[in-house]
Structures are given as structure tokens and as C-alpha cells.
């Protein structure tokens, strides 16, 4: 039932979403053409996609610490690596988009909340001059992602194991991220809380990406609040992800764009 509802919502998004023609903002027009629909798409990252293929076929079981609806209570469950690769990792189309967004905002430092197997972290780290900080709460999953970074030679990823709440202050005390990807703990209050924590250490050039903005009523409400936030100027809804710009030189405007 939920799947049908999501498909209908996606159809509605597709109908109301704009393409390049209706875009009067030169900045967003440029973003649309260079990032969402570039003529020369960046090639797929074959080592990462080969790793994804092997993970999708890996039915080994890992004990997963699930932080659930409250990070004070934990429960563990057994999950197959193939299940994590199928459901937690961003699909290739979106993973490549993350990499293009990082290029577009010339990100030198990226912060990712939610590493899982490390697929999106590695796409974000595709420019070796970029440093990616990524946080994962489940120690067993974090260990797997570390092994993947090592295997594919990503020396520019710093993986942290711990709850977002606990690890974020430490990371923010040592760096300012140009790009932030919030991809874990998809609850309204938690999302707004991490957004607030991150805002304490941003610049006007920082771009923030939220995953699953239409996943639940709570996430839809969180996205609405984020768009209204006084620090947010441009917001872009791509249905599965939402992107916000804090650039004060842009006028406050909301876009729903085809991707
Ligand atoms: C959707 S997955 C991340 C997928 C990854 N970004 C990718 O696309 O390859 C979200 C991850 O966030 C972790 N997580 C969720 N809530 C957390 C919290 N409060 N603190 C730390 N990690 C958390 C989960 O264990 C899970 O592995």
C-alpha cells in the first residue's frame, strides 16, 4: 500500500516539477544544466559500482545496532549485507548526483551523517583533494565501510563510529563543511535537530542535502520547516532528496525540479 502511495506521490511530483524552461534564477538554471542534467555526465565510478554488485550478492549476516526511533534505546537485528546494499545505499543515479553537487559547490570538506556500507561516502570523495567526514552509529556496519574505503584506496575519508549527536560536536569543532549530506535517522525532530547543530558551523556557501524528504509525514513536515528557515535561501525538491543553499546572495525561492 505504502509503495503505491509513494508511486502516486512521485507521479504528482513529476507533473508539477519544472524543467530548465521555467527557471528564471540564473544560479538554479546553471545548477539544473550542470548538475541535474549535464550534457557530459561524469562516468560511472566502476570500482564503486563493482563493489556494490559484489555486496548485492553477499548474503553474509551482520549484527546491526539499530538506533530506532530513539537513540537512547538500541536494538540489534541480523541483516544480510545484500539487504543493506539494496535498501540503505543510494542508487547509482543519486550517488553520482552527490558527486556532481560536491563538484558544483567546489566542496573541500564534506560531512555525511549515515555511512552504512560507504557507497555514497566514496562518491562524495571522488575528488581526492576533498576530505569527507562520515558518521555511522552501528560499529559492525562502520567496520565494513572502513574495509571498503581501504580496499578501494579512499584515503580522503574519515569514518567516525558513534551516534550523530555524540560525534557531530567533535567534527564541527575541527572543521567547517562546504557540503553536508544528512542520510540517517529520518525522523522529524531528529532531522531538525541535526540541521540546527550543523547550522552552528556553516558558511554562506554551504549546501545541505537531506535524504528521504517525502518518506513520511514527519519528514515532509521537517522539509517544510527547513525550507522556511531564515538561513535557507534556495531550496530544491527532487522528491527523494531535498537540497538547500544558504547563499545570502540568492533570493529566497523554492523549486521542485525534474531529475
Ligand atoms: C540510509 S543509511 C546511509 C546510506 C549511505 N549514505 C549510502 O547512501 O550509501 C543510514 C545509516 O545511518 C545510521 N544511523 C541512523 N541513525 C543514526 C544515529 N542517530 N547516529 C548514528 N548513525 C545512525 C544507520 O545505522 C544507517 O547505517
Please tell me the distance from the alpha carbon of residue 207 to that of residue 105, in angstroms, as a whole number: 7
pLDDT for position 259:
96
Q: Place domain 2-54+89-256 in its CATH homologous superfamily.
A: Vaccinia Virus protein VP39 (3.40.50.150)
Pairing of strands 157-161, 207-211: unpaired
Nearest ligand 1 atom to the CA of 118 is 9
Q: Whose CA is nearest to atom 12 of ligand 1?
A: 114
Q: Provide the pairing of β-strand 179-182 with 207-211.
A: parallel
For ligand 1, residues with CB inside 6 Å are 67, 71, 88-90, 114, 116-117, 119-120, 135-138, 141, 163-164, 183-185
Domain ranges of the chain: 2-54+89-256
Protein residue whose Cα sits closest to atom 1 of ligand 1: 88
Residue 5 pLDDT = 87
CA-closest residue to ligand 1 atom 14: 184
Q: Is residue 44 pLDDT above 80, yes or no?
A: no
C-alpha distances in angstroms, 197 versus 73, 75, 201, 202, 230? 22, 26, 8, 10, 15
Q: What separation in Å is there between the alpha carbon of 248 and the centre of ligand 1?
A: 30
* Complete DSSP assignment for 113-139: E--TTSHHHHHHT-STTSEEEEEES-H
Residue 49 DSSP code: H
- 3-state SS string for 222-234: HHHHHHHCCCCCE
pLDDT, one tens digit per residue, over 211-256 is 999 999 999 999 999 999 999 999 999 999 999 999 999 999 999 9
Q: What does the alpha-carbon distance between residue 116 and residue 135 come to, in Å, rounded to a whole number?
A: 9
pLDDT at 40: 80
**What is the pLDDT confidence band of residue 74, given thresholds at 50, 70 and 90?**
low
What's the pLDDT at 41? 72
Check residue 71 and give its pLDDT. Answer: 46
* Confidence label for 70 from pLDDT (cuts 50, 70 and 90): very low
pTM of the complete model beyond 0.75: yes
Amino acid at each position: 500500500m505504502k509503495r503505491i502511495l509513494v508511486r502516486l506521490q512521485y507521479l504528482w511530483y513529476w507533473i508539477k516539477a519544472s524543467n530548465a524552461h521555467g527557471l528564471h534564477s540564473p544560479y538554479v538554471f546553471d545548477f539544473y544544466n550542470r548538475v541535474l542534467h549535464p550534457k557530459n555526465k561524469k562516468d560511472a565510478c566502476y570500482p564503486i559500482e563493482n563493489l556494490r554488485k559484489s555486496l548485492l550478492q553477499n548474503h553474509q549476516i551482520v549484527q546491526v545496532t539499530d538506533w530506532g526511533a530513539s537513540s537512547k534505546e538500541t536494538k540489534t537485528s541480523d541483516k544480510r549485507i545484500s539487504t543493506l546494499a539494496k535498501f540503505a545505499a543510494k542508487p547509482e543515479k543519486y550517488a553520482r548526483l552527490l558527486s556532481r553537487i560536491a563538484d558544483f559547490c567546489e566542496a573541500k570538506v564534506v560531512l555525511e551523517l549515515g555511512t552504512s556500507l560507504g557507497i555514497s561516502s566514496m562518491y562524495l570523495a571522488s575528488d581526492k583533494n576533498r576530505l569527507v567526514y562520515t558518521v555511522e552509529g552501528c560499529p559492525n556496519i562502520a567496520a565494513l565501510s572502513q574495509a571498503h574505503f581501504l580496499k578501494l584506496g579512499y584515503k580522503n575519508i574519515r569514518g567516525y563510529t558513534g551516534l550523530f549527536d555524540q560525534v557531530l560536536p567533535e567534527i564541527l569543532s575541527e572543521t567547517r563543511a562546504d557540503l553536508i549530506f544528512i542520510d540517517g535517522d529520518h525522523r522529524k525532530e531528529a532531522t531538525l535537530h541535526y540541521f540546527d547543530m550543523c547550522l552552528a558551523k556553516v558558511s554562506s556557501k554551504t549546501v545541505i542535502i537531506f535524504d528521504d524528504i517525502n518518506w513520511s509525514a514527519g519528514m515532509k513536515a521537517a522539509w517544510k520547516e527547513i525550507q522556511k528557515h531564515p538561513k535557507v535561501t534556495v531550496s530544491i525538491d527532487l522528491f527523494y532528496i531535498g537540497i538547500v543553499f544558504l547563499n545570502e546572495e540568492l533570493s529566497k525561492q523554492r523549486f521542485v525540479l525534474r531529475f
